[in-house]
């Protein structure tokens, strides 16, 4: 058994940012990570052409900027290099291959107790800490919906997090499910690689450009969300016109209203819309059922596909291993909406990276959490 002031679960951007902030405050902490590396989402579960969608100044972790010669929209490898540099700069040393299977608050000891498996040696370990920071992310596990007949699909299927590069699918009939950022970007990549590409869109979606988002981020400093959304609506009309004839409707609420109230990101077009307009990417409504390689859609159309890529989002898995966090987390493993500080629970429980606002929110969560822990430790020492 090992005891430390703070245990952080997860060595993604959230976990390493929190550890860095605690190191600066000289608060002992241990980061436990189930994978063999930091930033596993970016290193092992992301496609090759992924870039940060918002400008680098909004994607910084605390106390370290990107190199001045880094491009505005940092590519995946640049972000990975930044994460590795961040670790060494702040002396963050996660314990890798440690999967947290159970964490609970031991009332008698007044501390958090974690049961951890070393996934390489299968040795069980126990950690005890006064403070527990959950940093396992909004994207802990890919979601694949239960489509009738999927189990018997005669082709190959995978989640977007397992997709690397369109060139592997050249000449194949590929269906991408979902019109979020993953779905639209993977569809574009497949189409550019000469896969016969189709995409499923089941509900209204805001499609914008990265330039519009960059502008909106500046305007939001001076204008209301409603005003910014009104400006974006006009820019979208100019750039894309009405896409409903191609199967893409816009939600009634604006993109930044939805981001702020529901955490739903607009889809940032990387070229997919032009391919859809050219007829090179075909848009289908929801899938009804699958028989062999034949997929039937809810409009009665059907087609044969070799591959399905489910870009149908992610889920948090906190509920599976954390017991006693019900005050902070809801049944979906996200902080409860009515909390004042969505990063703080009771008994020394915290979370970082669940605000559905990307790296910007991760940075402020990490600073808030480490500052709060520091204050509590100082108050305790003085009492």
Ligand X SMILES: NC(=O)C1=CN([C@@H]2O[C@H](COP(=O)(O)OP(=O)(O)OC[C@H]3O[C@@H](n4cnc5c(N)ncnc54)[C@H](OP(=O)(O)O)[C@@H]3O)[C@@H](O)[C@H]2O)C=CC1
Ligand Y SMILES: O=C(O)C(=O)Cc1c[nH]c2ccccc12
* Residues at the contact surface with ligand X, assessed by CB under 6 A: 50-53, 145, 160, 177-183, 185, 200, 202-203, 205, 265, 286, 311-314
79-118 positions binding ligand FAD, by CB under 6 A: 99-100
Of the candidate residues 14, 18, 40, 265, the single one contacting ligand Y (CB under 6 A):
265
Judge contact between 114 and 102, C-beta under 8 A: yes
* Interface mask toward ligand Y for 26-65; x: CB under 6 A: ---------------------------xx-----------
- The CB-of-310 to ligand X minimum distance in angstroms stands at 8
* Interface mask toward ligand Y for 208-237; x: CB under 6 A: -----x------------------------
User: Phi and psi of 24, rounded to 5°?
Assistant: -60, -30
* Other residues' Cβ atoms within 10 Å of the Cβ of residue 176: 31
Listed ranges 104-112, 131-139, 149-157, 367-375: which one lies at the site for ligand FAD (CB under 6 A): 131-139
176 is an interface residue for ligand Y by CB under 6 A: no
- The CB-of-100 to ligand FAD minimum distance in angstroms stands at 4
Judge contact between 198 and 282, C-beta under 8 A: yes
Q: What is the DSSP pairing of strand 302-304 with strand 294-297?
A: antiparallel
- Residue located via tokens 């040696």: 121
- Site residue total, ligand Y (CB under 6 A): 9
Of the candidate residues 7, 9, 212, 287, the single one contacting ligand FAD (CB under 6 A):
9
- Please tell me the number of Cα atoms within 13 Å of 81 on its side-chain side: 10
- The CB-of-108 to ligand X minimum distance in angstroms stands at 40
Name which of ligand FAD, ligand X, ligand Y, none residue 12 binds, using a CB cut-off of 5 to 8 Å depending on partner kind.
ligand FAD
Residue nearest to ligand X (CB): 180
Strand-pair partners of 103: 114, 322
What letter does residue 168 receive in the DSSP assignment? G
Cβ partners under 8 Å of residue 48, min gap 6: 76, 164, 165, 189
> SS3 of 131, please?
strand
- The CB-of-63 to ligand FAD minimum distance in angstroms stands at 17
- Residue located via tokens 């970082």: 352
What letter does residue 161 receive in the DSSP assignment? G
Name which of ligand FAD, ligand X, ligand Y, none residue 148 binds, using a CB cut-off of 5 to 8 Å depending on partner kind.
none
- The CB-of-332 to ligand X minimum distance in angstroms stands at 13
199, containing H or E segment? strand 196-200
- Site residue total, ligand FAD (CB under 6 A): 34
Strand-pair partners of 8: 31, 133
């Amino acid at each position: 058994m090992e005891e430390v002031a703070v245990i952080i679960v997860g060595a993604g951007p959230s976990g390493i940012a929190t550890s860095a902030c605690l190191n600066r405050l000289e608060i002992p902490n241990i980061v436990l990570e189930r994978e063999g590396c930091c930033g596993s989402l970016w290193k092992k579960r992301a496609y090759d052409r992924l870039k940060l969608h918002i400008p680098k100044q909004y994607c910084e972790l605390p106390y370290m900027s990107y190199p001045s010669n880094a491009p505005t929209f940092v590519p995946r490898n640049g972000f990975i290099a930044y994460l590795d540099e961040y670790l060494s700069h702040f002396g963050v040393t996660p314990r890798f291959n440690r999967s947290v299977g159970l964490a609970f608050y031991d009332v008698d000891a007044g501390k958090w107790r974690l049961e951890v498996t070393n996934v390489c040696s299968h040795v069980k370990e126990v950690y005890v800490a006064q403070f527990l920071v959950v940093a396992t992310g909004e994207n802990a596990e890919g979601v694949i919906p239960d489509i009738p007949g999927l189990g018997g699909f005669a082709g190959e299927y995978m989640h977007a997090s397992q997709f690397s590069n369109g060139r592997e699918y050249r000449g194949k009939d590929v269906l991408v499910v979902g019109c979020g950022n993953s779905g639209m970007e993977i569809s574009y990549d497949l189409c550019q690689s000469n896969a016969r590409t189709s995409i499923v869109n089941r509900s209204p979606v805001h499609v914008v450009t990265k330039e519009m988002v960059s502008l909106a981020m500046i305007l939001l400093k001076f204008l209301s969300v409603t005003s910014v959304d009104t400006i974006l609506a006009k820019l979208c009309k100019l750039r894309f016109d009405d896409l409903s004839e191609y199967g893409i409707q816009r939600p009634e609420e604006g993109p930044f209203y939805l981001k702020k109230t529901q955490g739903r990101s607009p889809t940032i077009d990387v070229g997919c819309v032009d391919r859809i307009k050219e007829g090179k990417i075909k848009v289908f409504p929801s899938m009804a059922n699958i028989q062999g390689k034949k997929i039937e859609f809810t409009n009665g159309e059907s087609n044969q596909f070799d591959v399905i890529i489910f870009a149908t989002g992610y889920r948090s898995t906190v509920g599976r291993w954390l017991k006693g966090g019900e005050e902070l987390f809801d049944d979906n493993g996200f902080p409860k909406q009515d909390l004042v500080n969505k990063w703080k629970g009771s008994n020394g429980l915290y979370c970082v990276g669940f605000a559905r606002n990307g790296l910007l929110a991760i940075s402020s969560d990490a600073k808030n959490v480490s500052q709060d822990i520091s204050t509590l430790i100082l108050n305790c020492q003085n009492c």
